[in-house]
């Protein structure tokens, strides 16, 4: 089945061709000129929804650019695709699945159908079960095998079953129960597990094995190691597993096979993509940390942004505007990367979280029609919290040869007000966006008395675009809005690039090859190797080293 056969390939859409012509006219326009010609630009080119303010005025666009980009969204069938997603249609065509992370935050009592069945009641049943469990653990009513209360929570998962939980835990640490310790184990590298448990008492430790499939090599290996560690610490009593292991998965059979009582399993569904799952039961560690009420507030934030995305005209729709800017820069300005720069220490894992969300979703070169694209798709997303990045890679963003649009994220108030820190932090984020956009001319540098030979080094050409995403303060609700903002931005990009943003076939090949290599590394006798000469040689070298 092909969902988009009625949509023309990108390069054949009228708006794309108009943008191509338009680009030639505006490509050399400087932000200095755009601002000088329109003194109200900085107030006009802004949009606000659900407590999130987006200043997109420092982008290399005119009103005409925006008009054409919005027209492109229309010609790309964005409205129809948004409606199809919210209706539960199987828009993930290569896996024949609905894409319904929006149902995870649908209000109790509403209805979203998948194959004719309302899924909202199941969502709330799982949320209620999570809340009951979280309350019992947090209040110390859920006892470990020896009768001690649980104080340490270790989430074992990888990809979407790790990055969302870690990011949310770090982002919302301010709201967390500080008497409890939270750790996250993801890597197959044994060091990850060893360091996570080295100072913990097994009698007070609960493992959440989080895996949509419950077959992922890293997660299942770490879960088995955790099981052995726990049994060793609790005199080998198998009965202890029930009190120290819970599972989050869609795969009841595998959970039972692992030895976790399915009564201690929190389910979700195949219509939740791994990288879109932090607000499903995959967020159990988040709920344990911040409590059910704060978790509900986060879901409410997600839902408010969903509604904004669903009903707001594209020219005022935050996720759509952000996506259109990315399409403009990757398509016409040869932007290869986008920097996401949160001026909020609690968001230190947000760029890492976004890497999976954006690049596993839209890092694809085949369209829904099975044809190779003749345009760029997802840029590389990366970033670090401000102001640390300023003393590291900002040099390149300001004066390097690369074109790197930036998303700055900042908050009006600090969760830890300390003297002048917050004013200084915010002064820096505003200053960076200003410096990138307007730079510093040779005349300005000379006027400061700089010797001629040094002038070129001290010139900032400017005209480097950025968005400022601004909210009052980092709360669970705002985090939900922020994540949903990027989720829908990714969705919009995928629709315009005409790709399936919800599969991830590109991760398969490496996994399969690793399964073939593992026995070759472990076998007692010398294996017969049939790889390329480089891989064969590396395997032999590793084996020699091992022995
Ligand atoms: O890396 C591929 C992937 O399938 C991701 O999409 C997913 O988030 C991750 O592996 C973990 O999968 P699971 O939750 O099934 O263990």
Of the residues 89, 170, 344, 360, only one is catalytic, namely 360
Give the residue, by CA position, lying nearest to ligand 1 atom 2: 507
Of the residues 391, 457, 524, 546, only one is catalytic, namely 391
Alpha carbon distance 205, 233 (integer Å):
11
Within 10 A of 318 (CB to CB), how many other CB atoms are there?
26
195-208 pLDDT, tens digit per residue, is 999 999 999 999 99
Alpha carbon distance 399, 339 (integer Å):
15
Question: What strands lie across the sheet with 406-411, from one edge to the other?
Answer: 46-49, 52-55, 466-471, 406-411, 337-342, 380-382
DSSP string, 401-452: SS---EEEEEESS-SS--TTHHHHHHHHHHHHHHHHHH-B-HHHHHHTT--G
Ligand 1 nearest-atom number relative to CA 210:
14
Written as six digits, the tokens of 318 are 């935050």
Report the chain's mean pLDDT, rounded to a whole number: 97
Give the residue, by CA position, lying nearest to ligand 1 atom 3: 159
Tell me the longest C-alpha to C-alpha distance in the chain.
Answer: 78
Give yes or no for residue 456 having a pLDDT over 90.
Answer: yes
Is 391 marked active-site?
A: yes
Is 511 marked active-site?
A: yes
Alpha carbon distance 23, 232 (integer Å):
65
For ligand 1, is residue 275 a contact (CB within 6 Å)? yes
For ligand 1, is residue 155 a contact (CB within 6 Å)? no
Per-residue DSSP letter, 189 = S
Ligand 1 nearest-atom number relative to CA 282:
14
Alpha carbon distance 214, 230 (integer Å):
20
Number of residues that this document lists for the chain: 547
Give the residue among 173, 170, 233 at the shortest CA–CA distance from 198: 233
For ligand 1, is residue 454 a contact (CB within 6 Å)? no
For ligand 1, is residue 212 a contact (CB within 6 Å)? yes
Alpha carbon distance 240, 204 (integer Å):
11
Kindly state the percentage of the chain with pLDDT values over 70. 99
326-348 pLDDT, tens digit per residue, is 999 999 999 999 999 999 999 99
Is 360 marked active-site?
A: yes
Of the residues 12, 117, 148, 511, only one is catalytic, namely 511
For ligand 1, is residue 211 a contact (CB within 6 Å)? yes
For ligand 1, is residue 164 a contact (CB within 6 Å)? no
46: part of which helix (H) or strand (E)?
strand 46-49
Q: What global pTM score does this model have?
A: 0.97
The whole-number pLDDT of residue 304 equals: 98
340 CA distance to ligand 1 centroid (A)?
23
Burial of 328 (0-12, 13-18, 19+ CB in 10 A): buried
Alpha carbon distance 492, 321 (integer Å):
9
For ligand 1, is residue 138 a contact (CB within 6 Å)? no
What confidence tier does 547 reach under pLDDT thresholds 50, 70, 90? confident
The whole-number pLDDT of residue 510 equals: 96
The whole-number pLDDT of residue 6 equals: 82
Give the residue, by CA position, lying nearest to ligand 1 atom 10: 159
Kindly state the percentage of the chain with pLDDT values over 90. 99
251-299 pLDDT, tens digit per residue, is 999 999 999 999 999 999 999 999 999 999 999 999 999 999 999 999 9
């Amino acid at each position: 089945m092909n969902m988009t056969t009625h949509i023309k390939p990108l390069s054949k859409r009228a708006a794309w061709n108009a943008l191509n012509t338009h680009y030639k006219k505006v490509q050399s326009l400087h932000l200095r000129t755009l601002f000088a010609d329109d003194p109200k630009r900085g107030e006009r080119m802004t949009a606000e929804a659900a407590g999130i303010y987006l200043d997109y005025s420092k982008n290399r666009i005119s009103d005409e650019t925006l008009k054409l980009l919005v027209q492109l969204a229309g010609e790309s069938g964005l409205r129809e695709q948004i409606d199809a997603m919210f209706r539960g249609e199987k828009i993930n065509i290569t896996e024949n699945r609905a894409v319904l992370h929006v149902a995870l935050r649908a209000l109790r009592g509403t209805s979203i159908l998948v194959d004719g069945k309302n899924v909202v009641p199941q969502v709330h049943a799982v949320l209620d079960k999570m809340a009951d469990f979280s309350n019992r653990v947090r209040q110390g009513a859920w006892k470990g095998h020896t009768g001690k209360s649980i104080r340490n929570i270790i989430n074992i998962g990888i990809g979407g079953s790790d990055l969302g939980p870690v990011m949310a835990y770090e982002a919302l640490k301010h709201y967390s129960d500080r008497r409890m310790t939270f750790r996250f184990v993801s890597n197959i590298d044994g060091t990850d597990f060893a360091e996570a448990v080295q100072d913990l008492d097994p009698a007070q430790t609960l493992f959440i094995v989080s895996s949509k499939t419950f077959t992922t090599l890293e997660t299942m290996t770490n879960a088995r190691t955790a099981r052995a560690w726990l049994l060793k610490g609790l005199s080998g009593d198998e009965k202890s597993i029930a009190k120290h292991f819970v599972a989050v998965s869609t795969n009841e059979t595998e959970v039972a096979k692992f030895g976790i009582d399915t009564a201690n399993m929190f389910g979700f569904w195949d219509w939740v993509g791994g990288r879109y799952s932090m607000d499903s039961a995959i967020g159990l560690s988040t709920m344990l940390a911040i409590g059910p009420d704060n978790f509900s507030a986060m879901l409410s934030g997600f839902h408010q942004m969903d509604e904004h995305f669903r009903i707001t005209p594209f020219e005022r729709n935050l996720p759509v505007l952000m996506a259109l800017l990315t399409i403009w820069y990757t398509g016409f300005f040869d932007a290869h990367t986008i920097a996401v720069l949160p001026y909020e220490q609690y968001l230190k894992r947000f760029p890492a979280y976004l890497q999976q969300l954006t690049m596993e979703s839209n890092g694809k070169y085949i369209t829904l029609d099975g044809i190779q694209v003749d345009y760029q798709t997802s840029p590389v997303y990366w970033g670090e919290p401000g102001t640390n990045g300023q003393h590291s890679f900002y040099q390149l963003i300001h004066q390097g040869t690369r074109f790197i649009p930036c998303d700055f994220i900042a908050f009006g108030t600090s969760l830890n007000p300390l003297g002048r820190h917050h004013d200084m932090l915010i002064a820096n984020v505003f200053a960076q966006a200003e410096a990138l956009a307007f730079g510093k001319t040779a005349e300005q540098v000379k006027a400061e008395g700089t010797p001629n030979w040094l002038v070129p080094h001290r010139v900032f050409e400017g005209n480097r675009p950025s968005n400022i995403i601004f909210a009052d303060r980092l709360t669970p609700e705002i985090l939900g809005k922020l994540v949903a903002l990027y989720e829908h931005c990714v969705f919009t990009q995928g629709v315009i690039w005409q790709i399936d943003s919800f599969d991830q076939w590109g991760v398969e090949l490496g996994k399969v090859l690793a399964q073939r290599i593992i026995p070759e590394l472990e076998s007692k006798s010398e294996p017969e190797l049939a790889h390329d000469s480089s891989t064969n040689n590396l395997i032999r070298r590793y084996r020699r080293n091992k022995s």
